[in-house]
Amino acid sequence: MLLLALGPSVLRAQSDDEASAAAPAPSSSRPFQLEAHGGLGWYGLGPVAGVRFGIPILKDGLARSLDDALYLNGGADLYYVARYCVRDGCQNYGLGVGFPIAAHWEIYLSSSLSVFAELGVNVYLTPSQLDGRPSAFGAAPWFLAAVGGTWRLSDTFSLVLRVGNPALTMGIQLEL
């Protein structure tokens, strides 16, 4: 009789355990990320090169049912982009620099593949600000939004592709 009374709760507990075993288990160990990348910037169309670092702030992520993590990313990017002059409407190229800061949400699809989304700001110093020439534009905080993917080739080395604002980049990432 006791077995019949406890039967449904034992079966429910067992099915809950099976359901949690089927869902991806969140990792309690998320490494510090260091990335070097290059690509093409959208503003003033020119090459971009930079570095990013990622600090894990929620190692078990935002969603219980996903194997995910939330990082705080920061870094510096160099842009060789078009400069627009104030007086004569000229356009020539110069070196600008950006300082991105973003929330980076990474979802792990498998042990070797993940996708991510980023939202943040990129404080940009124009070529004219760096060399002192007059320009039509001043320093600008850009809205930063990107999506991308990471392909892990080993425990410490990955390839990264990022598409968004302000650039399309490809790079290598070390997990430290």
pLDDT at residue 43, rounded to an integer = 73
The domain limits of the chain are 29-175
User: What's the gap between Cα 18 and its chain centre?
Assistant: 33
Tokens coding 123 = 């404080």
CB atoms within 10 A of CB 111: 9
- On the CB side of 8, CA atoms within 13 Å amount to 1
Cα angle, residue 165 at apex, residues 52 and 143 outer, rounded to 5°: 90
Chunk the chain into consecutive blocks of 10 residues (it has 176) and report each block's average pLDDT, rounded to whole numbers.
41 43 50 96 86 95 92 96 65 85 97 97 81 60 92 96 94 96
Q: Which residue has the tokens 């990471």?
A: 150
Percentage of the chain beyond pLDDT 90 is 55
pLDDT of the residue at 88: 59
Whole-number Å distance between alpha carbons of 114 and 158? 10
Given this model, what pLDDT does residue 87 score? 60
In this structure, the dihedral spanned by the alpha carbons of residues 137, 140, 143 and 144, taken in order and rounded to 10 degrees, is 100
**The model's pTM:** 0.76
* CATH level 2 (architecture), domain 29-175: Beta Barrel (2.40)
